[in-house]
Structure 1
Amino acid sequence: MRLIGRLALALVLLLVIAAVGLAVWEPLTAQPPAPPAAHTYDTRIVRDNFGVPHIFGTTDPDVAYGVAYAHAEDDFSTLQEVLAMTRGRAGAMLGADGAKVDFALHLVDARGTVTRHYAEQPADVRALLDAYAAGLNHYADKHPGEVRLARLFPVTGEDVAAGFALRSPFFFGLDAVLGALADNKPLPPETAGPNPDAPDPTPLAPTGGQASDEGNRNGSNGFAIAPRRSSDGHTRLISNSHQPWRGQVAWYELVVHSKQGWDFAGANFPGAPYPLLGHNKTLGWTNTVNRPDLVDIYKLVLNADRTQYRYDGKWLPLQATRVWLPVKLWGPFVLPVPKTVYRAVQGPVICNDSGCYALHYAGADNLKMVEEYYRLNKARDFAEWQRALAMQGVPATNFIYADAAGNIGHFYNASFPNRKPGFDYRHVLPGDTSADFMPGTVPWAQVPRNVNPASGFIVNANNTPYQAAGAGSELNPADYSPLLGIETDTTNRATRALELLSANPSISADDLYRIKFDKGVSRNSWVARWFAMVLAVDPKGDKTIADAQKLLANWDWQFDGKNGADALAQFLLRDGNKWHHRRLPPSDPRADLKAATDHLIKYFGRLDPPYGSIMRLHQGPGPHTIDLPLYCGADVLRACSSWDVAANGQLASDHGDSFIMFVDWDRQGHVSSRSIQPYGAATTRPDSPHYADQAPLFAREQLKPVWFDPADLAKHTERSYRP
């Protein structure tokens, strides 16, 4: 018995030691770098009546310091998630999902990219990043109780740069490829490249071609109208990005002014020291996701123990690095999980049951984007702005541009990988030869662009660049190599926008406003063909399905709450997006119709409940909770792309129209702008009056002034202070 007691005591001691180890190993092994050199920043933050920060500084770094501090005041929690991610500590904060991001950080070697290229950045860029880091450190020092992870601070400019190096490739779908390979699943069609030999299920309207649709969680609209097409000779730009309304890629509105000539109004993501879209005094731009094939996959030929791969007749070592991923269990307990990261000549390697695959993708080992965005902010004319974009630091995303001089344009920006004729880069390639591998990026001059089209307008809604300006003003697909992998897909939003713009020879400000907030579905879109499939379903004696078909047949093709079929149509549109965006075969229309009717009957007792009682704008809980009706659709210009289902069956939208900005240059070149967000400036501060103060305007499709001119801001100031 005494021996058993001793063994039990020893076991308890071992468990205690293990528990203590799990609680302390991760912060002890985390070595925060030295903070940026001590510096005094001359920064003033002015909050307008909506809580939007206007940051003033003597120098640009003074402004970047204030950008960080102001954003931390409003959403320090999310900023810390981004910083933990750049350090490979997301798993310690967020658990298993965060550990996946940490693995991606190691796999794409984001920290290695920073180590190799940070010193190459111009001194003014490094000063900007260091100042932003210093602003975050200052906030953390003043609010230690809000710090979520031990030894996360201080952070440095290198940490800020690492966030760009890590996140950039995931905007064009690299994460989908990594996930499929890691899980032994088929490669997603949307990242395997468009297939010109596949049947064309959805012709473009009106110009012809292949088509698909942007899915539930991605999207954006951008419009530019030249003076010759506007009713009053003004130039107009609409930024209408569709992003999640909370989290690490939610837009944060801000305005910046420095005495070094940096004046800009727009929005950024957590972790960015400057606006990523918006306008300055003389020009502006917005972005929409594009979908070129930017990932090439090579299957390696391995030796028996998987330590070498064959390349051009030689056996080369498969580089292997052991990394430890921290995975938060509960409370302070963090489990260390070992993983091995592999690399070959072509790039990072994923191994699964069927072999090892090397990836060559756009923007690999590239840090130029941190300078490029800054130069875009500071550009004063179209030529300067184009020189900045030609740096090819941003690996993918459409740029829709307009300026005070009346120029407009669509730049199908992408860092296309160099490719050799004779190989099918849409599919997995042999990895044992250099014959199909060509490092580097296609020159900027070969990147598609549509500048100052005769039509006088540009629109993009996540569709092909060959559909942007209307009949007679489009790019010719024959002018571009198929090796670029340019998508030929369209969306209902693009088709509908082109129909509305093309039909209006003189577009007024009010016309453009109505087009942006249009809730219609085009009868020439993929949605029309999908709904035709739903209406053709055999009810098989199911009265509810037959009644739903009758209801849908009498729908008015608008999500404006005026027709009883709006709710039913929204469920079906969302279901169609799930397969159409991913270039998959259609789902079972009968099953989708049955699921929609089951939901409506279960929660609302009818197939035709008022649309505003189902689709909701919700922010809460807290003293400033809001719950308002929304009138929008999954692939319409007034977009709500996904939602959480509440306990009462209502749909709380959480993605779609996010930061919206209307920009106007008059005939004299003077700029003005209006904007709106779904919630407010302080989305994670429930006690703040700006937690959801923009929501009523957003729900009513109204905009607020930006007060870009400091003289106007002075009349609408809530408070002014120095951090």
Structure 2
Amino acid sequence: MKWIGRAGLALLAVLLVAFVALATWEPFFAERGTGPASDGTYSAEIIRSDFGVPHIYGETDADVAYGTAIAHSEDDFFTLQDVIAMSRGRYGAIAGEDGAQVDYVYHLLDARGTAEREYPKIPADTRALFEAYAAGLNQYAAEHPGEVKLANLFPVNGTDVAAGFALRQPFFFGLNNVIGPLVAGEPLNPEHGPAIPREDLVAPSDAEPIMQDGDAGTKTASARPLPLHMGEDGAYAGSNAWAIAPSKSAEDGNGPTILVSNSHQPWRGGVAWYELVVESGEGWHYAGANFPGSPFPFLGHNEDLGWTNTVNTPDMVDVYRLEMNEAGTQYRLDGEWRDLESETVTLPVKMGPVVLPIRRTVHRSVHGPVIENDEGFFAIRYGGMGRLGQLDAYYRLNKAQDLEEFRTILARMDIPSTNFLYADKAGNIAYFYNAALPDRPKGFDWRGILPGNTSAAIWDGPVGFDELPQYVNPASGWLFNANNSPFSAAGEGDDLSPDQFAPELGVELKSTNRARRAAKLMEETEIIDRANLERIKYDTAYEREGYVARLFDEIAALDVSDDADLQQAKALLLDWDYTADSVGRGDALALLMIREFMGSSYQNTPWPDVREEMEKAVDHLKTHFGRLDPPMSDLLRLRQGDVDLPLDGGSDTLRASTLWNVDDDGRLSVRHGDSFLMFVEWLDGSRVVSQSIQPYGAATTRPDDPNYASQAALFVRHELKPVYFWRTDILENAVRRKTVSNR
């Protein structure tokens, strides 16, 4: 029997070796990263306000970018590492299966190859920012080894940071709406979804994109979400933005130019806003916010001008069915067989204490990335594919000084998507529907699946910037966007008409409740001064149109005579005042009900059963509150650590509380909605002033930091804090001040 014991020990040894191998292989397989090619030396001063917002100063722009990385790492190194892992194709080693799906897309889109090809073409001064930013990340990692999640993740260089941009940007205009169904092997319908003129279809997330069903006959199919976790989870909704001219902001026509940035992003994670102010001796002076992994702000203002963004959803993606040989190794194009480019990649998938190596094959054709499923091989081509000019464009926008310069930079079409709302000290306001829309040749049904066997269907480059919808100084004196069609932006008489633009462009025609409310309130308000603009921004009402009208029509027709609780719920809903202000008795019930139907419209998924959803809402309120009409503020909460505060607003209201977690006590802990909010004003003869707010604070992943949730109380009260754009102001209000350097 001794041999049995020896065999058992041998098996145990083999298992132990296998366990050790699975627990340790990934960092060695990935290999250690490399730092910036140049031995740059940097120094920056970081001054923090009473709310912890970093004001970063340096002699050069590169010094400031280095300081930005240090400051952000001090506040949220946890999330920065996730973003860097994504840019290295190693997120699965941190986030398991969901992270591995991000890594699959990283390889499918050739994010690394794009960065390696395009990054060297970026102007040297812009590359200097990225190298300095990488140096700051490396320094923080070296000085805080106990915080590093993944071995051999650092050092990184500018190409690594650039690869993160190449990976994430396409998902802001909904590339996943095509990738998701194709990867899932679900049949594609014959036409695109985004360009369908459906009035109750609202926008996908500014943040983490979600799968959408197509309307009947649309190209995109029903699909499970592909969890591209750039933030903490998939999200709906988008952003609001306003620009008001001096002629409209005061009775005498000489008011300030006002810009409002009202982004809706996840409150944590890789696309959560991080507020900062930057200033250098080379003329870079900007206040705003960026995402983890960026050396510069993406929105905000400088001394002369400012802008903000909202997600738009044009038709920027085309799908081609490839004609393959029997072996699946070649595709036919223009009568000739071409080799399909194929590469087998290893995806790390963390499972408990081990990381499994999962092998997957990714393909490419001359069209773009190729996905194989049971229906065949499908190639994808999308606007901005293979380009990284946005790295330089955002930097130039930060330093632009007037409308002409700003528009010239946008006209390069380097930023693939997102609307830009603009304002400046000269009193100009503008709205640019920015999108690298494919310059598609005539003769094909671009809303359907395209033939992959002819190069005539392969477009190259975007349409001209002048072909896109845009407004400059409309007579109304105001502009807005709430992820809606660009044909409702400036009011009756000033709005552009869709008839002015070719339908082949694929410009969306949809609206949102937020857009309907904004347009109505702006039209009704004679003078849109600061007080009126704040009233509009914090509006919590729904218009009885679109999905809201459909929902309440079905509620009115619902037979609930067999259930007393449902009868009470129906009465509360039919008596509801269509506001999510936590005043009416039906607000909590309506909040629970509306989100599911808004979600159906956002995701274009099947319409929920009204009775079933009402039963769920009734059960939730009865279980956790013992009544159907608790104050909505008891239900909807802002929670961060020990902070637990009431919230207002709903899904798709201008005051947005869009997504939430359901906590054990039945309260709804909001995780997505109003996020970075900034009011900017230029008054003739005065310096620019601005105020801002965020839901939590500067250090969202540092529970022991005093700014873990320091802005929360102001946020729930609809209050703002000063930005301290000018150095004299921050010095008077500084709480912490330090110099960082690698010299």
Question: Structure 1 length normalisation: TM-score?
Answer: 0.95
Relative to structure 1, the CA distance from residue 436 to residue 164 in structure 2 (aligned partners, 3 Å threshold; closer, same or farther) is same
The DSSP-based 3-state class of the residue aligned with 1:81 is helix
Q: What is the alpha-carbon distance in structure 2 between the residues aligned to residue 549 and residue 129 of structure 1?
A: 57
Tell me the equivalent position of 1:113: 114
Of 702, 718, 721, which aligns to 1:704?
A: 721
**In the TM superposition, what whole-angstrom CA distance separates every residue of 1:588-611 from its partner, at most 9, and x where no partner exists?**
222222221121112111111111
**In the TM superposition, what whole-angstrom CA distance separates every residue of 1:436-491 from its partner, at most 9, and x where no partner exists?**
22222212221221221111111100000011111001112112111111110000
Q: Is the 8 A contact 2:191 2:448 kept in 1?
A: no
Tell me the equivalent position of 1:229: 248
Q: Is the 8 A contact 1:368 1:394 kept in 2?
A: yes
Structure 1 position 272 matched with structure 2 position 294: yes
| Alignment-mate amino acid for residue 260 of structure 1 | E
| Alignment-mate amino acid for residue 259 of structure 2 | L
Q: Is the 8 A contact 2:199 2:546 kept in 1?
A: no
Q: Is the 8 A contact 2:265 2:272 kept in 1?
A: yes
Relative to structure 1, the CA distance from residue 84 to residue 585 in structure 2 (aligned partners, 3 Å threshold; closer, same or farther) is closer
| Alignment-mate amino acid for residue 660 of structure 2 | W
Using the TM superposition, give the Cα deviation of residue 217 of structure 1 relative to its aligned residue in structure 2, in angstroms.
Answer: 7.1
Structure 1 position 579 matched with structure 2 position 579: no
Relative to structure 1, the CA distance from residue 99 to residue 696 in structure 2 (aligned partners, 3 Å threshold; closer, same or farther) is same
| Alignment-mate amino acid for residue 184 of structure 1 | G
Using the TM superposition, give the Cα deviation of residue 585 of structure 1 relative to its aligned residue in structure 2, in angstroms.
Answer: 5.0
Tell me the equivalent position of 1:200: none
Relative to structure 2, which stretch is displaced further, 509-518 or 226-235? 226-235
Using the TM superposition, give the Cα deviation of residue 571 of structure 1 relative to its aligned residue in structure 2, in angstroms.
Answer: 1.3
Relative to structure 1, the CA distance from residue 669 to residue 488 in structure 2 (aligned partners, 3 Å threshold; closer, same or farther) is farther
Relative to structure 1, the CA distance from residue 330 to residue 584 in structure 2 (aligned partners, 3 Å threshold; closer, same or farther) is closer
| Alignment-mate amino acid for residue 630 of structure 1 | L
Q: What is the alpha-carbon distance in structure 1 between the residues aligned to residue 691 and residue 528 of structure 2?
A: 18
Count how many residue pairs are aligned between Structure 1 and Structure 2.
707
Structure 1 position 406 matched with structure 2 position 423: no
Q: What is the alpha-carbon distance in structure 1 between the residues aligned to residue 54 and residue 76 of structure 2?
A: 13
Of 422, 434, 453, which aligns to 1:432?
A: 453
Q: What is the alpha-carbon distance in structure 2 between the residues aligned to residue 402 and residue 558 of structure 1?
A: 31
Tell me the equivalent position of 1:368: 389
**In the TM superposition, what whole-angstrom CA distance separates every residue of 1:500-552 from its partner, at most 9, and x where no partner exists?**
11111211110001111111112345423322222221215222222111111
| Alignment-mate amino acid for residue 465 of structure 2 | W
Relative to structure 1, the CA distance from residue 31 to residue 391 in structure 2 (aligned partners, 3 Å threshold; closer, same or farther) is farther
Q: What is the alpha-carbon distance in structure 2 between the residues aligned to residue 328 and residue 565 of structure 1?
A: 45
Tell me the equivalent position of 1:12: 12
Tell me the equivalent position of 2:232: none
Structure 1 position 617 matched with structure 2 position 638: yes
Of 640, 655, 661, which aligns to 1:638?
A: 655
Tell me the equivalent position of 1:317: 339
Tell me the equivalent position of 1:84: 85
Q: Is the 8 A contact 2:321 2:377 kept in 1?
A: yes
The DSSP-based 3-state class of the residue aligned with 2:433 is strand
Relative to structure 2, which stretch is displaced further, 64-73 or 561-570? 561-570
Using the TM superposition, give the Cα deviation of residue 428 of structure 1 relative to its aligned residue in structure 2, in angstroms.
Answer: 1.6
Tell me the equivalent position of 1:454: 475
Relative to structure 2, which stretch is displaced further, 234-243 or 519-528? 519-528
Q: How do residues 96-135 of structure 1 correspond to structure 2 at under 5 angstroms?
A: 96-135=97-136
List gaps (5 residues or longer) in structure 2: 209-237
Tell me the equivalent position of 1:204: none
The DSSP-based 3-state class of the residue aligned with 1:717 is coil
| Alignment-mate amino acid for residue 182 of structure 2 | L
Tell me the equivalent position of 1:415: 436
Structure 1 position 520 matched with structure 2 position 537: no
Tell me the equivalent position of 2:559: 538
Relative to structure 1, the CA distance from residue 217 to residue 382 in structure 2 (aligned partners, 3 Å threshold; closer, same or farther) is closer
The DSSP-based 3-state class of the residue aligned with 1:136 is helix
Tell me the equivalent position of 2:304: 282
Relative to structure 2, which stretch is displaced further, 348-357 or 436-445? 436-445
Structure 1 position 299 matched with structure 2 position 318: no
Q: Is the 8 A contact 1:216 1:577 kept in 2?
A: no
| Alignment-mate amino acid for residue 261 of structure 1 | G
Of 315, 322, 329, which aligns to 2:351?
A: 329
| Alignment-mate amino acid for residue 13 of structure 2 | L
Q: Is the 8 A contact 1:227 1:235 kept in 2?
A: yes
| Alignment-mate amino acid for residue 460 of structure 2 | P
| Alignment-mate amino acid for residue 194 of structure 1 | A
Tell me the equivalent position of 1:244: 266
**In the TM superposition, what whole-angstrom CA distance separates every residue of 1:364-402 from its partner, at most 9, and x where no partner exists?**
100101001000001011111111112212211111111
**In the TM superposition, what whole-angstrom CA distance separates every residue of 1:588-641 from its partner, at most 9, and x where no partner exists?**
222222221121112111111111100000001xxxx20000011101000011
Q: How do residues 610-689 of structure 1 correspond to structure 2 at under 5 angstroms?
A: 610-620=631-641, 625-668=642-685, 670-689=687-706
**In the TM superposition, what whole-angstrom CA distance separates every residue of 1:545-565 from its partner, at most 9, and x where no partner exists?**
221111111112211111010
Q: What is the alpha-carbon distance in structure 2 between the residues aligned to residue 665 and residue 427 of structure 1?
A: 47
Question: Structure 2 length normalisation: TM-score?
Answer: 0.93
Tell me the equivalent position of 1:498: 519
Q: What is the alpha-carbon distance in structure 2 between the residues aligned to residue 643 and residue 217 of structure 1?
A: 15
**In the TM superposition, what whole-angstrom CA distance separates every residue of 1:130-177 from its partner, at most 9, and x where no partner exists?**
000011111111111111110111110111111111100011111232
Structure 1 position 478 matched with structure 2 position 499: yes
Q: What is the alpha-carbon distance in structure 2 between the residues aligned to residue 190 and residue 304 of structure 1?
A: 28
Relative to structure 2, which stretch is displaced further, 671-680 or 526-535? 526-535
**In the TM superposition, what whole-angstrom CA distance separates every residue of 1:211-251 from its partner, at most 9, and x where no partner exists?**
54557977100000011111152100000000000000000
Tell me the equivalent position of 1:165: 166
Q: Is the 8 A contact 2:191 2:447 kept in 1?
A: no
Structure 1 position 180 matched with structure 2 position 181: yes
Using the TM superposition, give the Cα deviation of residue 107 of structure 1 relative to its aligned residue in structure 2, in angstroms.
Answer: 0.5
| Alignment-mate amino acid for residue 4 of structure 2 | I
Q: Is the 8 A contact 1:215 1:578 kept in 2?
A: no
The DSSP-based 3-state class of the residue aligned with 1:414 is coil
| Alignment-mate amino acid for residue 537 of structure 2 | K
Relative to structure 1, the CA distance from residue 661 to residue 295 in structure 2 (aligned partners, 3 Å threshold; closer, same or farther) is same
Using the TM superposition, give the Cα deviation of residue 190 of structure 1 relative to its aligned residue in structure 2, in angstroms.
Answer: 10
Structure 1 position 355 matched with structure 2 position 355: no
The DSSP-based 3-state class of the residue aligned with 1:435 is helix
Tell me the equivalent position of 1:46: 47
Structure 1 position 378 matched with structure 2 position 399: yes
Q: Give percent identity, aligned residues only.
A: 53
Q: Is the 8 A contact 2:202 2:483 kept in 1?
A: no
Q: Is the 8 A contact 2:26 2:93 kept in 1?
A: yes
Q: What is the alpha-carbon distance in structure 2 between the residues aligned to residue 126 and residue 316 of structure 1?
A: 36
Q: Is the 8 A contact 2:200 2:601 kept in 1?
A: no
Relative to structure 2, which stretch is displaced further, 210-219 or 292-301? 210-219
**In the TM superposition, what whole-angstrom CA distance separates every residue of 1:262-288 from its partner, at most 9, and x where no partner exists?**
110000000000111000001001111
Relative to structure 1, the CA distance from residue 465 to residue 188 in structure 2 (aligned partners, 3 Å threshold; closer, same or farther) is farther
**In the TM superposition, what whole-angstrom CA distance separates every residue of 1:642-695 from its partner, at most 9, and x where no partner exists?**
000011111000000000000011122521000000000000000000000100
Tell me the equivalent position of 1:202: none
Using the TM superposition, give the Cα deviation of residue 20 of structure 1 relative to its aligned residue in structure 2, in angstroms.
Answer: 2.0
**In the TM superposition, what whole-angstrom CA distance separates every residue of 1:397-444 from its partner, at most 9, and x where no partner exists?**
111111111111111111111212232222222222223222222122
